[in-house]
Amino acid sequence: MNLIDTHTHLFSSQFDDDRHLIVQNAIDKGVSKMLLPNINSQTIDAMHKLCADFPTHCFPMMGLHPCDIKENYLEELQIVKSYLDKGSYVAVGEIGIDLYWDKDTLDIQKEAFRQQLIWAKEYDLPVAIHIRESFDEVFEIIEEVNDDHLRGVFHCFTGNEAQAKKAIELGFMLGVGGVVTFKNSGLDKTLKNLDLNHLILETDSPYLAPTPHRGQRNESSFLPLIAQKLAEIYEINVEEVAKVTSHNANTLFKL
């Protein structure tokens, strides 16, 4: 089975004690590729190092996370731009809008999100979009800048069916992670009404570990549990889930 974890922060400090072991565990479990979304300027070196240590398995993105958009966001964005100018990245990410942690920064979150979408179009890269309590705001900006060159994934999708269909209509994939395995998430019912061809898999490690590891540190080796849940939802074998979602990921990110 060949799986792709399209969103995992294995460079984060939570893995400082066993990072290489965690990556190797994932590879051993059939997770052949792991895509690493950047957070801010302080995480770039660690992300690059992990990709250098596992060059055929780990692939970097470049972006500024919405939760890290502070007073110095213009400086942070310039660092993102400087790396996009000279680097080789599979996507612009993790970008987006988060209104769960801080509503006061909405205006500058919007500005940073808009700018990074524009850069993604300029560099012909997909985007990995973080959406938390912000679907309306995210849709508004995407519709403002959308064209044939904008594509990407609504990372950690937990919205309703109408939001899912709107994202798909705008040309985006949906990233499905551990939440789909949670007993009362309702995400399984939403996904059942969508075509598997619109989905890619992710863990968002170290966050949102799937059942039966809920509440623990998440890791990319847990991705088969998410694939198995989708197999149950769509009433197909897990190999077919792996085949379709990996094809989707390879196509979107040009892996």
- The pLDDT value given to residue 159: 96
pLDDT digits (tens, 9 = 90+) for 128-173: 999 999 999 999 999 999 998 999 999 999 999 999 999 999 999 9
Over residues 67-83, the pLDDT tens digits come to 999 999 999 999 999 99
- Mode of pairing for the β-strands spanning 92-98 and 127-132: parallel
Place of tokens 């309590």: 133
How many helices (H) and strands (E) are present in the chain, helices listed first?
9, 8
Grouping H, G, I as helix, E, B as strand and the rest as coil, residue 154 is strand
Q: What is the pLDDT of residue 101?
A: 82
Name the helix (H) or strand (E) containing 5: strand 3-5
β partners of residue 242: none
As a dihedral over the C-alpha atoms of residue 114, residue 118, residue 121, residue 127, rounded to 10 degrees, the angle is -30
Looking at residue 15, the DSSP 8-state letter turns out to be G
Total tally of structural domains belonging to the chain: 1
CB atoms within 10 A of CB 119: 20
Contact partners, residue 66, CB within 8 Å, separation at least 6: 94, 95, 96, 97, 98, 109, 112, 113, 130
> Closest Cα partner for 96 from 9, 33, 38?
38
**pLDDT tens sequence across 43-58:** 999 999 999 999 999 9
**Given this model, what pLDDT does residue 102 score?**
84
Confidence grade of residue 1 (pLDDT, cut at 50, 70, 90)? confident
pLDDT band at 13 (very low <50, low <70, confident <90, very high): very high
Q: How far apart are CA 149 and CA 189, in angstroms?
A: 31
Expressed as residue numbers, the domain containing 13 is: 3-253
- Spell out the alpha helix ranges (H) of the chain: 19-28, 44-53, 73-86, 106-122, 135-145, 161-169, 187-192, 223-234, 238-253
For residue 87, pLDDT over 90 is answered with no
In the chain, the amino acid numbered 191 is: L
Instruction: Give the chain's mean pLDDT.
Output: 97
Task: State the residue for tokens 């999708």.
Answer: 157
The structure's pTM equals 0.97
Pairing mode of beta strands 152-154, 172-176: parallel
CATH number of the domain enclosing 60: 3.20.20.140
Identify the CA nearest to 159 among candidates 116, 194, 202, 203. Answer: 194
Tell me whether strands 3-5 and 31-36 are parallel, antiparallel or unpaired.
parallel
CA distances from 40 to 14, 48, 253 (A): 16, 13, 21
- Quote the pLDDT of residue 96: 98
